[in-house]
Structure 1
């Protein structure tokens, strides 16, 4: 799918995406790349056909994924920052007195899903993704 200027403007116009309204901090090319990533994540027929409307399931998923992608890769720095190369992992910690231990907990959630829980945008996308996976699939 081609990411159009109308799509970028609609993304910025969404009241839930106000964090990305500053075009200097979040240039159109950066938002377009995030929306392109989001398009691939919502590429399954289960997401439905794309329409630039607030109630369109695929468009909602794309907006949440794009916002999550921008927030996790660049934080609040926007174009002035560099992508964060570190992955967030499920960890459990225990402290007793002056000793503590932290360890990776692989059984909590797979890494791809865990990454989605890092921001509110990702959690909203995860909720939609679960809905997209429900029910019978027409073949």
Structure 2
């Protein structure tokens, strides 16, 4: 899909995406990349066709995924900062007295889903993703 200036403007105009309004901090090229990533995540027919309206399922999913992608990769620094190369993992910790241990817990959820729980945007996308996967699929 071609990410258009109208899509970028609609993304920035959403009241829930106020963190990404500043075009200096978040240049169009970075927003375009985030929306492109979001398009691939919402590419199945279960998401429906894209329309730039507030009630469009695919557009809502794209906005939430793009916002999550931007937040986890750049944080509040914006695109001028260095992308965060570290992955968040499911971790359990146990402390007894002056000793403690931390370890990876793979049983909680897979790493891709866990990554989505890192921000509110990702949690909203995960909720929509579960809805997209429900029910029968016409072939």
Band the TM-score falls in, shorter-chain normalisation: over 0.9
Matches within 5 A, 1:17-36: 17-36=17-36
Q: Which residue of 1 aligns with 2:113?
A: 113
User: Aligned residues, how many?
Assistant: 139
Distance in 2 between residues matched to 1:125 and 1:117, nearest whole Å: 9
Q: Which runs of 5+ in 1 are unaligned?
A: none
Q: CA deviation at 1:21?
A: 0.5
Q: Which runs of 5+ in 2 are unaligned?
A: none
Q: CA deviation at 1:127?
A: 0.1
- The answer to whether 1:39 aligns with 2:10 is no
Runs of 4+ in structure 1 off by over 3 angstroms are none
Q: Which residue of 2 aligns with 1:59?
A: 59
Greater Cα shift, 50-59 or 78-87: 78-87
Matches within 5 A, 1:48-87: 48-87=48-87
CA RMSD of aligned residues (A): 0.5
Q: Which residue of 2 aligns with 1:124?
A: 124
TM-score, length basis structure 1: 0.99
Q: CA deviation at 1:41?
A: 0.3
TM-superposition CA deviations, 1:9-46 (whole Å, max 9, x none) = 00001000000001000001100100000000000000
Q: Which residue of 2 aligns with 1:13?
A: 13
SS in 1 for 2:35: helix
- The answer to whether 1:92 aligns with 2:92 is yes
Distance in 2 between residues matched to 1:57 and 1:66, nearest whole Å: 14
Distance in 2 between residues matched to 1:83 and 1:40, nearest whole Å: 20
Q: CA deviation at 1:83?
A: 1.1
Distance in 2 between residues matched to 1:11 and 1:80, nearest whole Å: 19
Q: CA deviation at 1:64?
A: 0.1
Distance in 1 between residues matched to 2:40 and 2:77, nearest whole Å: 25
